[in-house]
């Protein structure tokens, strides 16, 4: 058997294996009928493209167009659309497993994209690798999970933000600005990050993104696991980043009240599709949103 032949066969076996596995899970959760009904209902009331553009102030800086994306061969987002103007903030809410984190993953380049386009400014960034996303498209991603380096000092953690961009000098200057703004971090700059409390770590993670000087900030669950005064502090930083530094912010927030109060635009995601969109403060008043996500 030639080498070429052998490679082909292996490739085919691999495809079979993945398709068998990938086709498994979905139908077992909901009957095909129920899924189709739910999808129909959502599609009938889904916001239109012009509504999304209007919310974005008439001109999108970042846009996601008819995106179909997921993991392996499993499609999680079905023709998902998003528009956000430069310097705006957008908050995604929705039930667990709806695909909120997957939207952020897809912008950053962590998913398989089957169809659709992600654009930032004039650039098509759909198939850019995560490291290019930061360097070439100016996107920084603050993960849902803890991402500080525990054995490095607080200031070294901040400088890391600059190494990721190959700009260590600028990073040091930016880090000094962070310390001027947040005395809480300055007081601990020479200590290893592991001594920080949960809230202080979140502060450090968000400040590190600031040192990377991105245009677009993706933030997954900024308030997760924090007590109220830290939640307020985290939202103050985000507000500062948006209002003073002009960053464009897309966030996912389980705390729908906080997220929608903060954001210019709110999106409700259900089963990988956009179910509702509106100004953050209007969605806060929406009875469905209240019933489902605000406990009222």
Count Cα neighbours of 73 within 13 Å in the Cβ-side half-sphere: 12
Smallest separation (angstroms) from Mg ion to the CB of 94: 9
- Which one, 101 or 207, has the nearer CB to ligand ATP? 101
Region class of 253: left (phi > 0), else alpha (psi between -120 and 50), else beta: beta
- Which one, 213 or 271, has the nearer CB to ligand ATP? 271
**C-alpha–C-alpha distance, residues 7 and 238, integer Å:** 50
Q: Using CB under 5 A, which residues numbered 201 to 230 contact Mg ion?
A: none
Q: Choose among ligand ATP, Mg ion, none what residue 21 binds, the Cβ cut-off being 5 to 8 Å by kind.
A: none
Smallest separation (angstroms) from ligand ATP to the CB of 84: 18
Smallest separation (angstroms) from ligand ATP to the CB of 30: 12
* Residue 101 found at the interface with Mg ion (CB under 5 A): yes
Smallest separation (angstroms) from ligand ATP to the CB of 208: 22
Smallest separation (angstroms) from Mg ion to the CB of 101: 3
Q: Choose among ligand ATP, Mg ion, none what residue 96 binds, the Cβ cut-off being 5 to 8 Å by kind.
A: ligand ATP
- Please give the residue ranges that form the binding site for ligand ATP (CB under 6 A): 71, 76, 94, 96-102
Q: Using CB under 5 A, which residues numbered 229 to 248 contact Mg ion?
A: none
> Is the CA virtual torsion 236, 242, 247, 248 positive or negative?
positive
Smallest separation (angstroms) from ligand ATP to the CB of 74: 6
Q: Choose among Mg ion, ligand ATP, none what residue 97 binds, the Cβ cut-off being 5 to 8 Å by kind.
A: ligand ATP
**C-alpha–C-alpha distance, residues 220 and 94, integer Å:** 13
- Which one, 99 or 161, has the nearer CB to ligand ATP? 99
- Which one, 102 or 248, has the nearer CB to ligand ATP? 102
- Which one, 85 or 94, has the nearer CB to ligand ATP? 94
Instruction: Give the residues lining the site for Mg ion (CB under 5 A).
Output: 101
């Amino acid at each position: 058997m030639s080498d070429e032949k052998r490679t082909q066969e292996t490739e085919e076996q691999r495809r079979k294996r993945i398709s068998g596995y990938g086709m498994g899970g979905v139908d077992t959760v909901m009957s095909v009928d129920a899924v189709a009904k739910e999808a129909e209902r959502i599609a009938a009331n889904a916001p239109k493209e012009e509504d999304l553009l209007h919310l974005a102030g008439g001109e999108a800086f970042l846009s996601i167009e008819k995106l179909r994306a997921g993991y392996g061969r499993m499609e999680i987002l079905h023709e998902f659309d998003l528009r956000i103007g430069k310097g705006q903030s957008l908050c995604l809410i929705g039930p667990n497993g709806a695909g909120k984190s997957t939207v952020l993953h897809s912008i950053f380049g962590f998913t398989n994209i089957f169809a659709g386009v992600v654009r930032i400014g004039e650039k098509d960034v759909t198939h850019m690798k995560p490291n290019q996303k930061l360097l070439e498209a100016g996107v920084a991603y603050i993960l849902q999970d803890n991402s500080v380096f525990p054995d490095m000092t607080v200031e070294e953690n901040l400088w890391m933000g600059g190494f990721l961009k190959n700009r260590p000098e600028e990073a040091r200057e930016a880090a000094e600005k962070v310390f001027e703004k947040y005395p809480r971090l300055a007081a601990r700059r020479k200590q290893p990050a592991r001594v920080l409390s949960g809230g202080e770590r979140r502060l450090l993670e968000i400040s590190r993104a600031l040192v990377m000087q991105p245009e677009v900030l993706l933030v997954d669950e900024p308030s997760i696991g924090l007590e109220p005064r830290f939640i307020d502090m985290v939202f103050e930083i985000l507000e500062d980043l948006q209002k003073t530094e002009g960053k464009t912010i897309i966030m996912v927030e389980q705390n729908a009240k906080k997220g929608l109060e903060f954001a210019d635009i709110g999106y409700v995601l259900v089963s990988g599709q956009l179910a509702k969109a509106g100004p953050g403060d209007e969605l806060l008043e929406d009875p469905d949103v209240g019933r489902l996500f605000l406990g009222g």
